[in-house]
Amino acid sequence: MRPLTVIDLFAGCGGMTQGFVDQGFTPVQAVEWNLAAAATYASNFSEDHIYWGDIADFGDDDIPEADVVIGGPPCQGFSNLGSKDVDDPRNQLWKQYLRFVRVAQPSVFVVENVARFSRSAEYQLLHDEVKPGGMIEGYHLESRVLLAADYGVAQRRPRTILIGSRVGRVPLPEPTHSNLPQLGMEPWETVRSRIFGLPERPDTSDLPEMYVEHFGRVLPGEFKARDLHFGRRPKEISLQRYDCVPPGGGRFDLPDELLPNCWRKKATGTTDVMGRMRWDAPSLTIRTEFFKPEKGQYLHPQWEAESSSRRVNRVITHLEASYLQDFPESYKWCGSKVEIAKQIGNAVPVGLASNLAAHLKYYLMRDGGMDVRETGMFADSEVSGV
């Protein structure tokens, strides 16, 4: 039986591809315009099928057939952190995504985006394209905002997932995990399950001096996972601020004398900044600037009220962030510190992508006339909630 194939658009560093590869899919094409992210993808899945460049420059004749097309068109225009401008040119890139769907004719496609996407004008226009005469006429669409923690990811990351199918209705997968014991599901994964046991005090603040060539360009890499476990050099006043913040706390735990003017004048809102994670809960969303505590709840969870020596006063490392995004220890990385942070924060959590891949695989195999439960090709966990 031939392997199922996948095209990943706006592929980033390959988080979504990794989830599909984990479920037996074979990537046949990827597109990514950012050099460092494309290099990371190439380091993990080979350079032979990834196009580094503008998706608009990728010709129709070069688009291969595939069973599934996946991807997340850039979302800054939709994001609560972005411009919220419907005319933002980044919001138009979904049309390039649909061009690939029209040419590749996958049985199923998946669009991943920020939660706000489901309430955008572009989202409604996308729905118009499945109507008679539209770019992807004949596909049936299903969408919902999914919380990554409900699918075994140690992160409370809400994302809009849209599934388009021309092989019959394919619903969104049902949650496999919950924070409500009475529902009878597996409990949410926690920060502890991902980063406990890593050195609390990294012995370096730098990446190793090494380089790799991809696409005829030389850039920093390839870095192994443990190369990403580096710290920062915060100022003394920053360390004093960190020391005041308990697990689950944030800027409102700081005494007045340690508050910067911008926070002293803002008595409400931005509750998660200068926040500390909890060991026994999922993290909040890992964003692209997780290395800055003023950007969210990114302080290391270790903190004990009765023992100042048992407090880890630093932000999480790039390695810890990658583990909270479910990247495997074997993953290789390319780029500068900032570039790798962007890759990690922009990625689809690998665990969520893997859950989606297993869910779609069931429907694709069923459509092919094969009962996957009888063939033994799936573990029970791979068809749960279907």
Query: Which residue numbers are catalytic?
Result: 75
Quote the tokens at residue 268.
């409400």
Quote the tokens at residue 143.
């969408």
Cβ–Cβ under 8 Å, residues 144 and 161: yes
Phi (first) and psi of residue 297, to 5 degrees:
-90, 80
N residues, the chain: 386
Residue type, 385: G
DSSP state of 185: S
Spatial CA neighbour of 320 closest among 338, 345, 356, 339: 345
Q: Can you tell me the distance from the alpha carbon of 111 to that of 97, in angstroms, rounded to the nearest whole number?
A: 9
Q: Are strands 211-214 and 186-187 parallel, antiparallel or unpaired?
A: unpaired
β partners of residue 85: none
Spatial CA neighbour of 157 closest among 304, 379, 10, 321: 321
Strand, coil or helix: what is 71? strand
Cβ–Cβ under 8 Å, residues 187 and 181: yes
Question: Sign of torsion, CA 85 86 87 90?
Answer: positive
DSSP string for 248-296: T--GGGS-GGG--HHHHT--SS-TTTTEE--TTS-EE---TTTT-GGGS
Phi (first) and psi of residue 345, to 5 degrees:
-70, -30
DSSP string for 119-161: GSHHHHHHHHTTSTTSTTTT-EEEEEEEEGGGGT-SEE-EEEE
DSSP state of 212: E
